[in-house]
Amino acid sequence: MDDIRYDGRVAVITGAGGGLGRSYALYLAARGAKIVVNDLGGTTDGQGNDARAADAVVAEIHALGSEAVANHDSVSTAGGGERIIQTAMDTYGVVDIVINNAGILRDASLVKMPSENFDTLIDVHLKGAFYVTQPAFRVMKERGYGRVVYTASGAGVFGNFGQANYAAAKMGLVGLSSVTAIEGAKYNIKSNVITPIARTRLTEGVMGATGDMFAPEFIAPMVAYLVSEGCEYSHEIFNVGAGRYSRIFIGSAPGWSAPAGTTPSVEDIRDNFAGIYSTDGYKIPVSAVDA
């Protein structure tokens, strides 16, 4: 089969000044894509800014003989999201691919979580992905083509101690991607979610000696496939890390139904809870209506 390439495609990648975002940018650029390298250049908890992070990745891409432009806006405001996409439009005239990767951490247990830290994580991860994707979606819809990837986390889908803000934001991205996929279906816009585990600035402190097993380069091929023209998958979630790739899905089982014409009591729920709880015969709904 032919190699997968991205000649003529324009990819906007947020948080691409290092880690996962940088690996995606270099991978796609090496295969012909033109890249908008977005990175505010802040600290891991979202403080400050430094243009050098994005600029350095652009220089790496130029060294490959490929095209790239830097953008230093924050994803956490609507204006920032608009300017990120406008950078692509002003430079290349189109947006074909959006990879929502930008993120920060401000961990604390549930009872110790400052409301500011909760709000900030929602602003960067969840609102940030919306602010970038919405203007890009308008362009994609008009052209009848687009590929979007949202970066969620196992912490969002399954939970993790001390990450109530991060988990809430990341699970919100699953819902955002589902709507992107449904609304984009007739315009050939595919949207998927990854839950990566990789060694980055956000995780290197907790990985220790195992970090080399989780290099960002293990994630890039999956993301590259999901944003390729030939990928027909959409409305999906994929767990990715250390060379392992698998599907995560949300299913709904038949459960128990109260007899027609009756309103069940709390005792009926108790007495039939085994059937309610059972996963036997589950199906994977494709929308809320289907569920």
Quick check: 164 pLDDT over 70?
A: yes
**Predicted structure pTM score:** 0.94
Residue in the structure block whose two tokens are 């803000």? 165
Residue 252 has pLDDT above 90, yes or no: yes
Question: Over the chain, what is the mean pLDDT?
Answer: 94
HSE toward the beta carbon, residue 117, CA cutoff 13 A:
19
Mean per-residue pLDDT for 139-167?
Answer: 97
> In this structure, what token pair is assigned to residue 3?
């190699």
> Would you kindly state where each structural domain of the chain is located, as residue ranges?
10-248, 251-291
Among 27, 92, 131, 166, the active-site one is 166
pLDDT band, very low/low/confident/very high, at 205 (cuts 50, 70, 90): low
Residue 190: what pLDDT? 98
Q: Where are the alpha helices (DSSP H) in 108-195?
A: 115-121, 128-143, 154-157, 164-184
Identity at 66, one-letter amino acid code: S
Cβ atoms of 150 and 192 within 8 Å: the answer is: yes
Q: What is the CATH number of domain 10-248?
A: 3.40.50.720
Of the pLDDT bands very low, low, confident and very high (cuts 50, 70, 90), residue 204 is: low
**Is 131 an annotated catalytic residue?**
no
Sheet holding 236-241, edge to edge: 68-71, 34-38, 10-13, 97-100, 146-151, 189-196, 236-241, 244-248
pLDDT of residue 118: 97
Q: Exposed (0-12), middle (13-18) or buried (19+): which is 211, by Cβ within 10 Å?
A: middle
Mean pLDDT, residues 46-75 taken together? 95
What does the pLDDT average to over 126-131? 98
Reported as a pLDDT band with limits 50, 70 and 90, residue 201 is low
pLDDT band (50, 70, 90) for residue 211: low
Please say if the pLDDT value at position 250 is more than 90: yes
Q: How confident is the model at residue 133 (pLDDT cuts 50, 70, 90)?
A: very high
Contacts 24+ apart (CB under 8 A), 243-246: 243/218
What's the mean pLDDT in 221-250?
97
- Exposed / middle / buried, residue 91 (Cβ in 10 Å: 0-12, 13-18, 19+): middle
Q: Note the pLDDT of residue 208.
A: 56
CA separation for the pair 99, 88 (Å, rounded): 13
**What are the residues whose beta carbons fall under 8 Å from the beta carbon of 80, sequence distance 6 or more?**
73, 74, 128, 131
Q: How far apart are CA 152 and CA 188, in angstroms?
A: 22
For residues 35 and 57, give the distance between their C-alpha atoms in angstroms, rounded to a whole number: 10
Specify the pairing of strand 189-196 against strand 236-241. parallel
| Helix, strand, coil share (%) of the chain residues, nearest 5 | 45, 15, 40
Length of the chain: 291
Write the pLDDT tens digit of every residue in 67-98.
999 999 999 999 999 999 999 999 999 999 99
| Contact (Cβ atoms closer than 8 angstroms) between residue 181 and residue 146 | no
Q: For residue 124, with 0-12 CB atoms within 10 Å meaning exposed, 13-18 middle and 19 or more buried, which class applies?
A: buried
- What band does 203 get if pLDDT is binned at 50, 70 and 90? low
**Residue 81: CA atoms inside 13 Å, Cβ hemisphere, count?**
24
pLDDT reading at 198 higher than 80 = no
pLDDT: which is higher, 200 or 102? 102
Average of per-residue pLDDT across 256-282: 98
